[in-house]
Structure 1
């Protein structure tokens, strides 16, 4: 009777454990078709929403394509981009945005994580609140920052006008708009970065920190010589993920805050792909830009693994 109360999955796994690999496979899958039938739903999703669009992007990049006609032009879409000043500006702007998002975002997240790691009353609630921004999508972050930095009635301008008597054209000036977009992107990713840094700080052996304190090391020396090197695996992981985020996931905030303006001041590579297709119906050029963006991120990731990982300390 006890065996009848056990879950069927447990009985199946333990029943197969006593058989050889060939016997188990023959007993459960009486033919080669059954495993493929079980995989079919997953394979269908991958083919329809991943593999087919990926392959079709390469096909479109060789065409001068619109919604009404198309013609094969080989690599002309790629060569045209080399002389497109607006596109080259968007490439440079993307690297600037990415550098600011990664450097400022990780430095700010590490500082907040160290403060949140201190043994204070209500620390668990405080840490939970810090992680909340990561649950918000970039579009919602754009809505929040638009309400804050609206040149007409935003909260930030209310305070600046109250204290210094000045209203700033945050979203209407090409000198200010990039900072708002970068700030929204940093805030969106901040909770994710804090979460991993907190986990890394909690995994550091207390014996090492206490031994350094006994030897006379002050708080800064303990952080710089012990804690920061042991956080290097976390930092390396966050650099890779934040670079990818800055290249791709800033689209929502840019689209809602500035739509790439003013005067293309916030047009990055990912937004330029969308804008090329929307404004000019240049499906071929947009596809070529997508491929370049993809290959660029892959190349940056490979370089990061070959260079940055050498300075990562995985042991205590």
Structure 2
């Protein structure tokens, strides 16, 4: 039986843990407490005494129709981006897992987009899908305004979702490929000998065994779609929340409210509501979806 290592003095483990504890306090607990405090006070933008206003900041936020528009946009962005990225990652992982000639090259190509920063991807797709000079420009020449993200909010929302999917499909591909490689090859060989094709083997054997990985990706991708740095970077660099607030996701609205409008109290209230929404969706996922996940 292994003996447990014990420090002979209290100051040595404290010294080792102090830098990490200091970072956690400075970058997690202190901001979190400040956000809660600001949400219930009227915080002056240039310093001074804060006035306690109770729930007034939340009442003001909920009375703003543009805020509810940002909630709707965030829900569409998170659900569509997460589900399609997972689906594409699953298809790519199933294809590469067959180890056909050139599979190693395709693994590198599929993972590469995830290494690109969200704002850089947004800037690139602004040119790739530009209505004047992009890939859809010939269709716009035949059918004016067939694709115009600068004019139509629905087109702009589709654009930022496409960029998010393009970048994060590689992330889901990594986990799903790792999960597929843990599936016993004997099961696939037995199914193949029974006459099952690749699609039937994927539906009946591989995908059910990937349930824990799919559930993990669902929770992770939904959270990233709501509050991820790439979500903010893609939308801010590509559309800036426009046109007509059509792509103004909640995280972008919070940043603009705080650093452009200098409304720290309103931004803090919106942050707490956003955290509450994430907690609700995470609870729903663990409460109802995890029941269908089998870990053994």
Confirm or deny a common fold (TM above 0.5).
yes
What residue is the counterpart of 2:268 in the other structure? 287
Is the aligned partner of 1:84 residue 2:45?
A: no
Question: Which residue of the partner structure matches residue 145 of structure 1?
Answer: 125
Quote the offset at 1:234 in angstroms.
1.0
Query: TM-score of the superposition, structure 1-length normalised?
Result: 0.86
Q: In 2, are the aligned partners of 1:134 and 1:188 still within 8 Å (CA)?
A: yes
1:151 is displaced (CA, Å) by: 3.4
TM-score (norm 2): 0.91
Indicate which of 165, 170, 173 corresponds to 1:186. 165
Could you list the runs of 5+ residues in structure 1 that have no partner in the other structure?
A: 1-16
Aligned to 1:263, which of 241, 244, 248?
244
Question: 2:72 aligns to what SS in structure 1?
Answer: helix
Give the Å deviation of 1:288.
Answer: 0.6
Q: CA deviation at 1:114?
A: 1.5
Instruction: Note the C-alpha offset of 1:95.
Output: 0.9
Corresponding position of 2:293: 312
Alignment pair present for 1:207 and 2:181: no
Bigger-Rg structure (1/2): 1
The C-alpha deviation readout for 1:200-241, integer Å capped at 9, x for no partner, is 111111111222222333333222111110111111011011
Displacement of 1:159? 4.6
In the TM superposition, what is the alpha-carbon distance from 1:271 to its structure 2 partner?
1.0
Q: How many residues align?
A: 290
1:228-243 correspondence to structure 2 within 5 Å = 228-243=207-222
Structure 1 consecutive aligned stretches of length 4 or more whose deviation exceeds 6 Å:
none
| Equivalent in 18, 30, 40 of residue 52 of structure 1 | 30
1:91-113: CA deviation from partner (whole Å, max 9, x where unpaired): 12211111111221111111122
Would you say the 8 A contact 1:260–1:267 is kept in 2?
A: yes
- Give the CA deviation at 1:283: 0.5
How far apart, CA to CA, are the structure 2 residues paired with 1:287 and 1:203?
44
Structure 2 counterpart SS, 1:267: coil
Higher relative contact order (CA 8 A, sep 6+): 2
Report deviation, 1:166.
4.7
* Paired residues of 1:157 and 1:166 also in contact (CA < 8 A): no
Query: Which runs of 5 or more residues in structure 2 are unaligned?
Result: none
Deviates more, 1:280-289 or 1:209-218: 209-218
